Amino acid sequence: MGTRLQGKVAVITGGGGGIGAAAGRIFCEEGARVALVDQSEDAVASAVHEIRQILPGAEVHGHVADLGVEAEADRVIGDVVARLGGVDVLVNNVGIRRYEALADAPWETWDAIIRVNLLSFVSMTRAALPHLRRCGRGSIVNTSSTYAVYGRKGMGAYDATKAGVLAMTRTLAYEEGEHGVRANAVCPGYTRTPFHVRRMGAQAVDELVPPCVLKRWADPSEMAYPMLWLASDEASYVTGATFMIDGGLPA
């Protein structure tokens, strides 16, 4: 057990699997009390159970919420504060995908993706900000995507929301600096998450060589460790920044 987040309360959305669950475990390893939030009750319960198995002393709790609904953010943050006493770190990591070209994606696709991938970041941030300001050294870490910056075909709605996350992060940094709250974004590249394994199959994932300098998939923990640094006081002079964690993916 480390101490890099000792005494801090961290809320992590999309906490039921992949990057969110890895961040939950690593944050607990470094002394944080952690609330994992996910739409899937089974997924978040499994993540909490796994962390408690690995780290018997960890204080980690699961919260089930559909963050595409605005009111859910206030409910979740209220529950976290009632149980843990505050919020020091918010990791906005929830996301959904649709594989449709811009010419084909219906309004309903855009509406669903914007609600989860961008508006949930807004609602969770608004709900958490009074507590992040109160702690005096609050940190917000927003998960975007390398394709918020680089171009590609077939996922225009997803990529547009992830670009919006970067703009939101920069604005937050400017607005909240005077309150002692930092805001930064991470842009993951190819990451071997349960989502991709389910979608493609384990063999297909293993056979695909990502077009990046390191020529391999990242483990979710390799995304979570940069999040840990940004959440900690080690990054106390870092705000408004975008971190490309992509193994050297060319533009």
Residue 251: pLDDT band (50, 70, 90) is low
In DSSP notation, 44-68 reads: HHHHHHHHHHH-TT--EEEEE--TT
Of residues 147, 150, 158, 225, which has the active-site annotation? Answer: 158
pTM: 0.95
Token pair in block for residue 134 = 């109160």
Among the residue ranges 124-138, 191-205, 217-231, the one predicted with the least confidence is: 191-205
Residue 2: pLDDT band (50, 70, 90) is confident
Domains for the chain: give ranges and CATH numbers. 9-243 (3.40.50.720)
Strands 9-13 and 89-92: parallel
Active site residue 158: yes
Please report where in the chains the tokens 């770190």 appear, as a residue: 89
The answer on pLDDT for 1 being more than 80 is no
Say how far apart CA 129 and CA 72 lie, in whole Å: 15
